[in-house]
Structure 1
Amino acid sequence: MFIQTESTPNPATLKFLPGQTVLDAGTADFPSAEGAASSPLAQRLFAVKGVCGVFFGSDFVTITKDDATDWDHVKPAVLGAIMEHFQSGEPVMAGEAASGHAEHDGEDGEIVNQIKELLDSRVRPAVAQDGGDITFHGFERGVVYLHMQGACAGCPSSTLTLKMGIENLLRHYIPEVTEVRPVAV
């Protein structure tokens, strides 16, 4: 098994491509080891000293390390953990992966559907290439709330991406959108 690695815009995060499907559908975000019980792979990765975040996409694993640890020390152990997991035959997830967007009930249903469609068609594929995901969290009085995951969470350029990229895109296509804000879940 050959696992490729790619840098991301977030210096604390690397993207690992195992050359096979990681998740059949959706994404899975584990910002801490405490929430990793539903994933044998995430548990294995959090056992690596210095790993502080794990994110799964369709064909990649994104790892975030803590500031005190150097990639030269973490990367070989992460590569080993990923290889060991896929050779073990264990599932990546014990349950279902998250579909992504939060549900929204209310009078803005048509606007929310347009927001989700633009996120799915224009935004999420681009940020997945950088090892992350951005999902809809809510819409209230013209403000779109988005949840940033994987390499996007804590990335130095995430504010610029959110404000200059996503906000401008949504405002262009949906006049009811006035602002985009990140949320922590």
Structure 2
Amino acid sequence: MFIQTEATPNPTTLKFLPGRPVLESGTFEARDAAEAEASPLAKALMELPGVGGVFFTPDFISVTKSDGEWSQLKPAVLGIVTEFFLSGAPVLAGAAAASEDEFFHPEDSETVETIKELIETRVRPAVAGDGGDIVFKGFRDGIVYLTMKGACSGCPSSTATLRHGIENLLKHFLPEQVKSVEPA
């Protein structure tokens, strides 16, 4: 099994592409051992000294280090991922998909659908290319609330991405509705 790795804009996160589906759909993130319990693969990765978080999508795995050097950590991560996929075990144990609670007023549902479509088609592909994901959390009083996940959650440029890139995009398409974008 050959697993490609890619650097991300976040120097503490590497993206691992196993060349096979990781999840059927959605995403999964674990930032500590308790969250990792829902996934045997996440649990094994989080047990490695220096791993501070994992993020799974249908196409890739992002691993965030809390300390140490990638030169020592990367081979250990590759070994665990290879062994796991060769075992044929499921990535998630049971119904581990977390529900994402959203908030917005019913009268804003048309605006929210447009925001979600713009995020899905214009933002999410770029964010996934960097080893992360972006999730719509809510819309209230002209403010869009988004959560960055994976490599993007701790990235030094995530605030700039939210404030300048995504906010400008949404204001361009919805100038009367969107005032700002905030992290949720």
Q: TM-score band (shorter)?
A: over 0.9
2:64 is matched with 64
Which string of whole-angstrom CA distances, capped at 9 and with x for unpartnered residues, describes residues 123-164 of structure 1? Answer: 111101111001001111111110110000110111111111
How much has 1:11 moved relative to structure 2?
0.1
CA RMSD of aligned residues (A): 1.5
Task: Tell me, in whole angstroms, the C-alpha distance in 1 between the residues paired with 2:100 and 2:125.
Answer: 14
Moved over 3 A (4+): 95-105
1:75 is matched with 74
Partner secondary structure for residue 162 of structure 1 = helix
Task: Tell me, in whole angstroms, the C-alpha distance in 2 between the residues paired with 1:128 and 1:53.
Answer: 16
Task: Tell me, in whole angstroms, the C-alpha distance in 2 between the residues paired with 1:113 and 1:64.
Answer: 32
Task: Tell me, in whole angstroms, the C-alpha distance in 1 between the residues paired with 2:101 and 2:152.
Answer: 18
Aligned residue type for 2:180? E
2:160 is matched with 160
How much has 1:35 moved relative to structure 2?
0.6
Task: Tell me, in whole angstroms, the C-alpha distance in 2 between the residues paired with 1:119 and 1:96.
Answer: 26
Partner secondary structure for residue 35 of structure 2 = helix
Check whether the contact 1:13–1:63 (CA below 8 A) recurs between aligned residues.
Answer: yes
1:147 is matched with 147
1:28 aligns with 2:24: no
Gaps of 5+ in 1: none
Partner secondary structure for residue 9 of structure 2 = coil
Aligned residue type for 1:132? G
Task: Tell me, in whole angstroms, the C-alpha distance in 1 between the residues paired with 2:50 and 2:152.
Answer: 19
Partner secondary structure for residue 37 of structure 2 = helix
Task: Tell me, in whole angstroms, the C-alpha distance in 2 between the residues paired with 1:99 and 1:36.
Answer: 12
Gaps of 5+ in 2: none
Aligned residue type for 1:23? L
Percent sequence identity over aligned pairs = 58
1:177 aligns with 2:178: yes
Which string of whole-angstrom CA distances, capped at 9 and with x for unpartnered residues, describes residues 87-107 of structure 1? Answer: 111101113464886434522
Partner secondary structure for residue 21 of structure 2 = coil
Task: Tell me, in whole angstroms, the C-alpha distance in 1 between the residues paired with 2:174 and 2:81.
Answer: 41
Check whether the contact 1:25–1:99 (CA below 8 A) recurs between aligned residues.
Answer: no
Q: 1:52 to 1:3 in 2, by over 3 A?
A: same
Which string of whole-angstrom CA distances, capped at 9 and with x for unpartnered residues, describes residues 25-76 of structure 1? Answer: 111111222111111110111111100010001110000001x311111111
Q: 1:97 to 1:130 in 2, by over 3 A?
A: farther
